[in-house]
Amino acid sequence: MDSQSQPELISFKVCPFVQRSAIILCEKNIAYKTTYIDLKNLPNWFTELSPLGKVPVLKVDDTVVFESAVIAEYLDECYAPSLHPKDLLEKAKHRSWTEFASAITMTMFAMLREEDEKEFGELKEKLAEQFNQLEKVIDADGPYFAGKHFSLVDAAYAPIFLRLQLAEQLHKLNLFSERVADWSETVLKRESVKHSVVDNFDEIFLEYLRKTGGYLSSKVVTTT
């Protein structure tokens, strides 16, 4: 593949949805380039390019692909190895629980941004309950969502696990059962997951948390 046809991932460094796409690109060893934008200061070219004004966007030659689930499916169909089960019902189940990852992501960010301690606690409970729901459908033996093999649905949960691991350093969250904790640990050790964010991600994410002004922000120790 020549460099002109390398896909381009339009990214925002802390975005969990972009990270899903980056994990899949890494899993499949696809050569790609990343263009970072600042969501608070959108360049005009991005506003023209992205119909929903959201990242991730994957540009393949002149074609714009948006929505992380669509990007995931496109990459999976285009590049081996497939990260989806063959069985159609099982595949639909993976897609359903990928959608659930978006709901968990929303609860997580609501919790991370919440200023009021009591409301923060309520959102933490809601998140714990969502992980309980998840535990009922994941493979009991693990280590991944569906057992021995990493799949697209794992790529949707990895960004959540990474951010919660960092938040956990600031405040004990105790959101996971033993099985979910093992899943998180396994996923976070995976090379594709490690390479899917910028090298100083921890620093950038903690700084992002500090700026939210949420309940956890006061617990971020600043080095400057």
Ligand X SMILES: N[C@@H](CCC(=O)N[C@@H](CS)C(=O)NCC(=O)O)C(=O)O
- Which residue in the list 9, 15, 127, 180 is annotated as catalytic? 15
Alpha carbon 15 to its chain's center: 7
Residue 55 binding ligand X, by CB under 6 A: yes
Least CB distance to ligand X at residue 53 (A): 5
**Residue 89 · residue 44 · CB < 8 Å:** no
CB of 142 to ligand X, least distance (A): 25
Give the DSSP letter of residue 31: -
Q: Contacts with ligand X in 65-104 (CB under 6 A)?
A: 67-69
Q: How many residues form the binding site for ligand X (CB under 6 A)?
A: 11
Q: Which is nearer to ligand X, 55 or 111 (CB)?
A: 55
Residue 116 beta carbon to ligand X: minimum distance, rounded to whole angstroms: 23
Residues 30-49 that bind ligand X (CB under 6 A): 39
Give backbone dihedrals phi and psi of 3, rounded to 5 degrees, phi first.
-65, -25
Residue choice 6, 8, 12, 202 for contact with ligand X (CB under 6 A): 12
Phi, psi dihedral angles at 105 (to 5 degrees):
-60, -40
Query: Catalytic site residue 78?
Result: no
- Tell me how far apart the alpha carbons of residues 166 and 13 are, in angstroms, rounded to a whole number: 15
199 burial (CB, 10 Å; 0-12 / 13-18 / 19+) is exposed
Smallest distance from ligand X to CB 69, Å: 6
CA distances from 107 to 24, 50, 101 (A): 24, 25, 10
Catalytic positions are: 15
| Site of interaction with ligand X (CB under 6 A) | 12, 15, 17, 39, 53-56, 67-69
